[in-house]
Chain A
Amino acid sequence: MAILTKEQAKALLTKVLSYSKAEQCEVNLSGSDGGNIRYARSSVSTSGGISTNSLVVNSAFGKKSGVATINEFDDASLEKVVRRAEELAQLAPENPEFMPFLGPQEYGPESPTFSEATAAMGPKERADAVQASLNQAKENKLNAAGFLSNSAGFSAMMNSNGLFAYNKSTDVAFNITIRTEDGKGSGYATKGYNDYTKLNTKADTAIAAKKALASVTAKAIEPGKYTVILEPTAVAVMLENLFFDLDARQADEGRSSMSKPGGKTKVGEQLLDERVNIYSDPWNPELPTSNWNGDGRPQQKVNWIEKGVVKNLYTSRYWAEKTGIKSLPSPDGAIMVGGTKTLEELIKGTEKGILVTRLWYIRPVDPQTLLLTGLTRDGTFYIENGEIKFPVKNFRFNESPIIMLNNLDEMGRSERTVSAESNTNYLLPPLKIRDFTFTSLSDAV
C-alpha cells in the first residue's frame, strides 16, 4: 500500500478519526517505495529495496497528549493504535506548551514535487544508471565508489478540527567518488532531483573523474587567510548551519548566533553583505517542496535574509503565540539568489585564490559566532591570474558562515545542489569569499 492517492489517504484517515474518543485527535500518514545500490572498488557492494508505511496518531485531552505509531492497517490495528494514543495521553503529565490542533488551512496550489519517471524507477533503471557510471570509470582506469537511491512517497494528515493535507513527492540522489589507482587523486560529484530524467550518472562520474585526475600531485601551501571560490556543494555545508540557526526560540532565549546582548534578536539587523538574499519557496520549479509542514501549517514563500538583513525566524506554534511573532515553520529547502557568472568566469576574474570543490566533516566549534571547522576534500586547486595552476593539499578551516557572508566578493549562478552532510537539497551559487581562514594542512587524499 506504499503510495496512496489523495482520495485513498482521505478515506483511511477518516476511518482512523472515527475511532477517536479523545477531545482532539490528529493523524499523520506516510508511505514510500524506493531502492538503492551502493558500489565500491568498481563493483556493486550492496543493494536493496525499501517499502514503508507509517501511521501516527496524536490524541489529546486538555493539555495532555499521547502519540502512538503503527505500520499495520487492518481495522483492528487502526482502532488499537487510537486507543493506545488515548491511553498514553491519559497517563502523560500536562504539557504547558501543548497547542490545540489547527483547523482547516489554505495551502495554495499543489507543488510539483512528484515525478512519474522517478516513481517508475526500478532495479533495472538503477542498475543501468550505475553501469553507466562504472563504465565511465573503467574506461579511464579509475576506481569508482558511489551510491544511487530513489524513492516515491506521500504524506497526509487529518485532524478532528477539520484539517486535511496531502502531498506526494519523489526523490533521486546520486553521489560518486572517483579515485586514481595510485590513490593520489580524488574527485566527487553529487546530484539530487525530484525528476530522475534530469540525472546523468555518466556525466556526473566524468566530473568526479576530471577532478580526481586534476588533483594528483597536490602541492602543500601554507595555511592562512585566502580568497576562495567555493563550489555550490561546499557552499551548502557552510550555509545550512546558518539556516539551522534561524530558530526564533533559541534566539529569544539568548543561545544562538541570532541572539544579541540585552535579550534581543538580530531580526531587522544588517547581519550579512547587502547582496545576500536567502528565501524559501515551495513552488520554485527547480526546488519544489511540500506546501505544508508536518504540524499542518502552510509553507509559503518566505524571505529569511533580504539585502543582508535578517527578516524572519522560524518558530513552533507555541513560541509564536507566546511571543506574538509570525508563525512560520522551518522550510524544507533554501534558495540563495546568485549572480550571472559561471564558475569558470569567477575563476577567470581571480588574481590569486583557492578553488574549493567540497568541504567535509563540518562541526560547530562556537555556537555564538557560528564558527565551524571542517576540511577541504576531493579536489582543491590554486588559482593565479584567472587560471587553475595546480592542485593543493587539503586544508582544515575554522570559519563562520556569518563572517564568510560579510567577506563576500562575488557570486555565480545559483544551481541545485545537495549537502553531503544533511542530504538536503538547495539552490545555491558558487561564492567567491575574501579572507577565508585555513588553519592547518591535511595529508588526506
Chain B
Amino acid sequence: MTGVGIGASMVHLPLFGKEISVEDALTPVDVQLKKRMADVALNAARSKGATYADVRIGRYLNQVIATRESQVQNIANSESYGMGVRVIANGSWGFAATNNLDNDSIAKAAEMAVAIAKGNAKLLVEPVQLAPQKGFGEVSWKTPLEINAFSVPITDKVNMLLNANNEAVKGGAKYVNSNLFMVNEQKYFASTDGSYIDQDIHRIWPTFTVTRIDPAGGKFETRNALSAPMGMGYEYLTPKASEKIKGGPVTMYKKRYDLLEDIREATTHVAEKLKAKPVLPGKYDLVLDPTHLFLTIHESVGHPTELDRVLGYEANYAGTSFLTLDKWESKKFNFGSKVVNVIADKTESGSLGAVGYDDEGVKCGNWDIIRDGILVNYQTIRDQAHILGLKASQACCYADSWESIQFQRMPNVSLAPGESVLSAADLVKNVEKGIYMFGRNSYSIDQQRYNFQFSAQLAYEIKEGKIVGMLKDASYQANTQEFWNSCTQLCDKNDYRLGGTFADGKGQPGQVSAVSHGSPTTRFNGVNVINTGRKLG
C-alpha cells in the first residue's frame, strides 16, 4: 500500500520526535561514540545467550514547511534519536528499543531483546535461518548531495513556496497548498558479524495542490505537482533545461524540478479540467507517463514480488500475493509481454531506496525480477534467502525508526527502458484511440494484487496519433497479468524518469518507507477504461 491508508495514507514525518534547531541537525553524532554504544549492546546480548545480535542507532531528522496561499501554516524541525537491538536466542527473534543511551539502559534493552526472543522461542515452529553475511568492519555511505537541504535557510524555502503559491493565485487558482518535506536519516548499524556501518541518507519532496472552483456550477478541480520525491539534496529544486522534456502537453522533469514552471502549468491545467469532456467508457490504448506509471508499478509489480507477502506474513493486513512460489519455480510464468523487464535496485542514484547497506548490514545491489516478461525473482532479506535457495540476502531490510523492528521492505522496483530509440511524442503518433495519462491520483488494488483501478492528474485523449483534448472521470481497471501482457512499447533511456512515494505503508504496527520506481513512457493496448462521474440528488 501506499500513502494513506491502509492505514496507508499518512505521511507522519513531522509528527514524531522532539523539536530541534537547524544547527543541531547539521551536527552528526560522533561515530566512535556510536561504535562504543553499539558494542555495549552487542556484548550484553551475547553475554545473555544471543547467537546473533544487531544494533541500529538512528537519528531521524525531519523538516516540513507547509503553506497555503500567502500564509505559512507550519514550520517544523524534529528529531528522533535512539537505539533498537535485535537478537536471535534459542532460534527465535527478539527486539527491544530505548531512547536512553547510557550504558545501563543500552545493556537493559539488549537483555530485554534476549528475554523476548527466549519467550517467543516457546511458540517457534522452526528456528531462524540467517543467510551468511560477512562483516564489513568500519565503513560509511552517504547520499551523493550537492546541497544539504537542512543547510538552506528556512526563509529561502518559505519564499520559494510562497512565490509558487503567488503564481497560482495570479493565474486564477482559488486555493493553493504547497509543502516541502526534507528527511535526513543518520543511521549506524553494528552486528555480531563484525560490521560497523555509518550512513547519512537524505530525501526531499516538494509538492503542491492547485484548486480552481466553478462556484455557479458547484464544481471544483485540482491538480497536484508532477514532482517526484527524491533521494537527493536541495539541488533537486534547481531547474536545469537539460533535465526537462518539452514538446508534449506537459513539461516533464528528470533530476531537476522547476516548481514555478510546474505550478504555472498546473494552474492552466486545472482550468482546462473544469471544462474537460467526460470519457466514454471502453477499451483504449494507454500511454502512461512515469509520473503516473510509477504507482502502477509499485502496486502491481513491487508489492506482489515481496517474498514475505508471498509466504503469508502480511496475510492479516496488506495481504498475500498471486505470485506464488510455484509460478517462480516453473521459470515460465508469463507475468508480462516480452518487452517487460523489471529490475530491483537499491543503488540507483537519486532514488529514494538508494543506500549503501540495508538495515541488517547487507551491501546493496540490483537484480532482475521480471526478465523478458517472465517472473525470475522476488525481494528477500536474510531470514528468507534460504527459501529461494539464495546464498545471500538481497538487502531489502528496513525499519522506519530506531524503535521499529526491521523487516522486508520494497527496494526501488523499476521498468527498464526500451532498447530502440523512441520518444514519448513518437510513441503517441502511433496510437489510434488512446489516453495519455500524467500524475498519480486514485489507486486501489486487491489483497493478492490481481485487480486494480487507477486514475491520473491529467488525462488527454489521443485520436489517430494526435492529442485532441483533455478528458475527465477516466479510470482504468485491469488484471495485473493481463495489463503487463498488453505492454507493447517503451520509450528509450532518454525518457526514463523516477517517481516515488515517501509513505509506503506495511506491517502491524504500521511502518512507512520511501521507495522510487523508474520507467519510461510506456504503451499498454486495449485497457478497460470506466467513467467515474456521478450525480448526487
A residues near B (Cβ < 8 Å) are: 36, 38, 40-48, 50, 67-71, 81, 84-85, 88, 92-93, 95-97, 123, 127, 131, 134, 143, 145-147, 149, 175-177, 179, 183, 188, 253-255, 257, 259-263, 360-369, 371, 373-375, 377, 394, 396, 398, 400, 402-403, 421-423, 439-445
Given the known interface contacts A48-B116, A253-B175, the answer about A364 and B442 at a Cβ–Cβ threshold of 8 Å is yes
Given the known interface contacts A41-B311, A445-B448, the answer about A176 and B534 at a Cβ–Cβ threshold of 8 Å is no
Q: List 11 additional contacts besides A67-B76, A369-B533; criterion CB under 8 Å.
A: A47-B120, A68-B18, A69-B18, A69-B19, A254-B220, A260-B218, A361-B447, A363-B443, A365-B442, A394-B446, A441-B451
By the criterion CB–CB under 8 Å, are B315 and A143 in contact? yes
By the criterion CB–CB under 8 Å, are B534 and A361 in contact? no
By the criterion CB–CB under 8 Å, are A261 and B215 in contact? yes
By the criterion CB–CB under 8 Å, are A255 and B532 in contact? no
Residue B379 is within 8 A (CB to CB) of chain A in the complex: no
Q: Kindly specify which of B260-268, B429-437, B471-479 makes contact with the partner chain.
A: B471-479
By the criterion CB–CB under 8 Å, are B534 and A400 in contact? yes
Chain A nearest CB: distance from B110 CB in Å? 14
Contacts between chains A and B (CB distance < 8 A), count: 206
By the criterion CB–CB under 8 Å, are B446 and A444 in contact? yes
The answer for the CA separation of A96 and B72 in the assembled complex, in Å, is: 10
The answer for the CA separation of A445 and B524 in the assembled complex, in Å, is: 27
Residue B17 is within 8 A (CB to CB) of chain A in the complex: yes
Instruction: Find chain B residues with CB under 8 A from A263 CB.
Output: 215
Instruction: Find chain B residues with CB under 8 A from A368 CB.
Output: 219-220
By the criterion CB–CB under 8 Å, are A375 and B451 in contact? yes
Q: What is the 8 Å Cβ interface bit string for chain B, positions 375-417, against chain A (1 contact, 0 not)?
A: 0000000000000000000000000000101010000000000
Residue B151 is within 8 A (CB to CB) of chain A in the complex: no
Instruction: Find chain A residues with CB under 8 A from B276 CB.
Output: none
Q: Chain B, interface size: which category?
A: 35 or more
Residue B425 is within 8 A (CB to CB) of chain A in the complex: no
From the candidates B123, B220, B313, name the one contacting A255 in the complex (CB within 8 A): B220
Chain A nearest CB: distance from B452 CB in Å? 9
From the candidates B314, B319, B324, name the one contacting A444 in the complex (CB within 8 A): B319
By the criterion CB–CB under 8 Å, are B124 and A43 in contact? yes
By the criterion CB–CB under 8 Å, are B315 and A71 in contact? no
The answer for the CA separation of A92 and B158 in the assembled complex, in Å, is: 11
Given the known interface contacts A95-B71, A373-B444, the answer about A176 and B316 at a Cβ–Cβ threshold of 8 Å is yes
By the criterion CB–CB under 8 Å, are B442 and A373 in contact? yes
From the candidates A45, A369, A377, A423, name the one contacting B447 in the complex (CB within 8 A): A377
Q: Can you show 9 pairs from A to B with CB atoms below 8 A apart?
A: A40-B315, A68-B19, A127-B119, A145-B315, A253-B213, A400-B534, A421-B5, A421-B6, A444-B450
By the criterion CB–CB under 8 Å, are A44 and B315 in contact? no
A interface secondary structure, majority: strand
B residues near A (Cβ < 8 Å) are: 1, 5-7, 17-19, 21, 71-73, 75-76, 78, 93, 95-97, 99, 116, 119-120, 123-125, 158, 174-175, 211, 213, 215-220, 222, 311-317, 319-320, 322, 324, 403, 405, 407, 442-451, 453, 455, 473, 475, 477, 479, 507-509, 528, 530, 532-536
Instruction: Find chain A residues with CB under 8 A from B448 CB.
Output: 443-445
The answer for the CA separation of A255 and B218 in the assembled complex, in Å, is: 9
Chain B nearest CB: distance from A369 CB in Å? 4
User: What residue of chain B has the Cβ atom nearest to residue A57's Cβ?
Assistant: B19
Instruction: Find chain A residues with CB under 8 A from B99 CB.
Output: 71
Chain B nearest CB: distance from A135 CB in Å? 11
By the criterion CB–CB under 8 Å, are B216 and A261 in contact? yes
Question: Counting chain B CB atoms within 10 Å of each CB, which of A179, A361, A366 scores highest?
Answer: A361
The answer for the CA separation of A167 and B218 in the assembled complex, in Å, is: 42
Instruction: Find chain A residues with CB under 8 A from B78 CB.
Output: 69
Closest 10 CB pairs of A and B: A261-B218, A442-B451, A444-B448, A145-B315, A444-B446, A145-B316, A68-B19, A177-B316, A147-B508, A369-B534
By the criterion CB–CB under 8 Å, are A46 and B93 in contact? yes
Instruction: Find chain B residues with CB under 8 A from A444 CB.
Output: 319, 322, 446-451
Instruction: Find chain B residues with CB under 8 A from A69 CB.
Output: 17-19, 78
From the candidates B97, B446, B450, name the one contacting A360 in the complex (CB within 8 A): B446
By the criterion CB–CB under 8 Å, are B313 and A45 in contact? yes
Given the known interface contacts A177-B315, A368-B219, the answer about A46 and B1 at a Cβ–Cβ threshold of 8 Å is no
Instruction: Find chain A residues with CB under 8 A from B313 CB.
Output: 40-41, 45, 145
The answer for the CA separation of A338 and B78 in the assembled complex, in Å, is: 45
Chain B nearest CB: distance from A404 CB in Å? 11
Instruction: Find chain B residues with CB under 8 A from A88 CB.
Output: 19, 75
Instruction: Find chain B residues with CB under 8 A from A422 CB.
Output: 7
User: What residue of chain B has the Cβ atom nearest to residue A85's Cβ?
Assistant: B19
User: What residue of chain B has the Cβ atom nearest to residue A149's Cβ?
Assistant: B509
Question: Counting chain A CB atoms within 10 Å of each CB, which of B96, B124, B220 scores highest?
Answer: B220
The answer for the CA separation of A369 and B314 in the assembled complex, in Å, is: 33
By the criterion CB–CB under 8 Å, are A259 and B315 in contact? no
Question: Counting chain A CB atoms within 10 Å of each CB, which of B123, B213, B405 scores highest?
Answer: B123
User: What residue of chain A has the Cβ atom nearest to residue B96's Cβ?
Assistant: A48
Instruction: Find chain B residues with CB under 8 A from A176 CB.
Output: 316
By the criterion CB–CB under 8 Å, are A360 and B532 in contact? no
By the criterion CB–CB under 8 Å, are A95 and B446 in contact? no
The answer for the CA separation of A318 and B507 in the assembled complex, in Å, is: 37
Chain B nearest CB: distance from A30 CB in Å? 13
The answer for the CA separation of A365 and B448 in the assembled complex, in Å, is: 21
Question: Counting chain A CB atoms within 10 Å of each CB, which of B319, B324, B534 scores highest?
Answer: B534
By the criterion CB–CB under 8 Å, are A41 and B312 in contact? yes
By the criterion CB–CB under 8 Å, are B509 and A440 in contact? no
Instruction: Find chain A residues with CB under 8 A from B312 CB.
Output: 40-41, 143, 145, 179
Question: Counting chain A CB atoms within 10 Å of each CB, which of B7, B71, B119, B444 scores highest?
Answer: B444
By the criterion CB–CB under 8 Å, are B125 and A41 in contact? yes
User: What residue of chain A has the Cβ atom nearest to residue B70's Cβ?
Assistant: A96
Instruction: Find chain B residues with CB under 8 A from A253 CB.
Output: 174-175, 213
Instruction: Find chain B residues with CB under 8 A from A45 CB.
Output: 313
By the criterion CB–CB under 8 Å, are A262 and B215 in contact? yes
Question: Counting chain A CB atoms within 10 Å of each CB, which of B73, B99, B215, B447 scores highest?
Answer: B447
Instruction: Find chain B residues with CB under 8 A from A179 CB.
Output: 312, 315, 320
Instruction: Find chain A residues with CB under 8 A from B215 CB.
Output: 254, 261-263
